[in-house]
Amino acid sequence: MNLEVKKASGIYITITDGKRYIDLISGIGVSNMGHRNHRVANAIRKQVGKYWHTMVYGEHIQSPQVKLAQKLTSLLPPSLNSCYFVNSGSEAIEGALKLAKRFTGKTKIVAMKNAYHGSTHGALSLMNNNYFTEAFRPLLPNVHFAEFNNEENLNLIDEQTACVVLEIVQAEAGYLAPNPDFLENVRERCNQTNTLLIVDEIQTAMGRTGSLFAFEQYNLVPDIICLAKAFGGGMPLGAFVANKNTMQCLTDNPVLGHITTFGGHPVSCAAAFENLKVLTTSGLIKEVSKKEELFRNLLQHPEIVEITGKGLMLGVQLKSKEKLQKTVDYCLQKGLMIDWFLFAEDKLRIAPPLIITLNEIKKSCKIILEGLER
């Protein structure tokens, strides 16, 4: 895009020449409360005035981490009661994979085709796309790929499997919503085979799909949930959350099973705590389905094949990649930031901050439709 950012506020990003854009992608699912929410900004200022980094994660007791862990676990099912804070989504996935291997004593991993879980070696091993992985081989061995929403592939999950990793709404595949039966059957198959179910909610959580966590809309509870992106309220933070009994095994044999210097940085945790408080008391999550409906109603055009996804995580399937490029360019020209996906080059990505108003949605859709006309 090549835009030099000068300022960002609410749903708007202003560049150095003064032009202002509506941000319809939230920095890829990060700015759910908009840019620089004032309460989150105040929480950051307050923590900056007390202390920043004092010691590697876990060595000192730091109240922003403790408060965030208490808040987060109070919002999750009782079985998800132990948090490990990290720096990013990829690191949350790394931690979850290590935890599953250590806890089960098994090494086989089942991931989904067209998933994206991050760019570090472990996370990249969960990607079945050769173009993105070939240059970095060898990756983790014994990773098997099932098709998302295809129950026939579930026999890949067997007694040798340590974990299944999946996103509730597949993000980089182009925002693909799950078939509820599929998720239920994965959960069932994991139970039968003593396999841990790792749910990557790095992009789907924090209200994005119409509930605080997307899994809440389906009949399953993960064994490990991974968070990042919007979780930090705009600051770098990730987490993997599991049952205390499971998490405990990272404390011995070897001691310090996962180590991170900056994981759970107190300034990020203070921001995340305030962000969670604002988000869960704002009423914004309840408005997501109404906003989704408005996008779906307005975005009707002969060039649009279908709209996939859930909540404010929508993939607009166009007839061609060329049309998409032209539409994205037109939107940028008119002050609207939209984007595409890693594995769906003919789809527009729509994931605005949840604070977007109905009028702003109407304005954005008008620009997209004009772009499609060209």
Residues contributing to the site for ligand PMP (CB under 6 A): 28, 88-90, 116-118, 167, 171, 200, 202-203, 228
Distances (CA, A) of 66 to 46, 56, 230: 16, 15, 19
Q: Alpha-carbon distance 155 to 153, whole Å? A: 5
CB of 34 to ligand PMP, least distance (A): 19
Q: How far is the CB of 207 from ligand PMP (least distance, A)?
A: 16
Q: Are 126 and 93 in contact (CB under 8 A)?
A: yes
Using the minimum distance from each CB to ligand PMP, give the nearer residue, 203 or 268. 203
* In the complex, minimum distance from the CB of residue 322 to ligand PMP, in angstroms, rounded to a whole number: 25
In the complex with ligand PMP, which residue's Cβ is closer, 272 or 372?
272
Q: Nearest residue to ligand PMP, using CB?
A: 89
CA 113 vs CA 75, 128, 140, 257, 357: distances in Å: 30, 6, 16, 29, 35
Query: Is the Cβ of residue 114 or residue 153 nearer to ligand PMP in the bound state?
Result: 114
> Among residues 227 and 279, whose Cβ is nearest to ligand PMP?
227
Q: What is the dihedral of CA 248, 249, 251, 257, to 10 degrees?
A: -130
Contacts of 6 (CB under 8 A, 6+ apart): 14, 15, 16, 18
Q: How do 196-200 and 238-242 pair as beta strands?
A: unpaired
Cβ 220 to ligand PMP, closest distance in Å? Answer: 17
Helices 321-333 and 358-373: crossing angle, nearest 10°?
130
Of the pair 200, 346, the CB lying nearest ligand PMP is at: 200
Task: Write down the least CB distance from residue 30 to ligand PMP, Å.
Answer: 9
- Beta carbon nearer to ligand PMP, 171 or 361: 171
Smallest distance, Å, CB 50 to ligand PMP? 26
Crossing angle, helix 63-75 and helix 266-281, to 10 degrees? 30
Toward ligand PMP, which CB reaches closer, 237 or 318? 237
- Give CA–CA dist 126/111, Å, rounded: 6
Shortest separation between residue 87's beta carbon and ligand PMP, angstroms: 8
Burial class (CB in 10 A: 0-12, 13-18, 19+), 224: buried
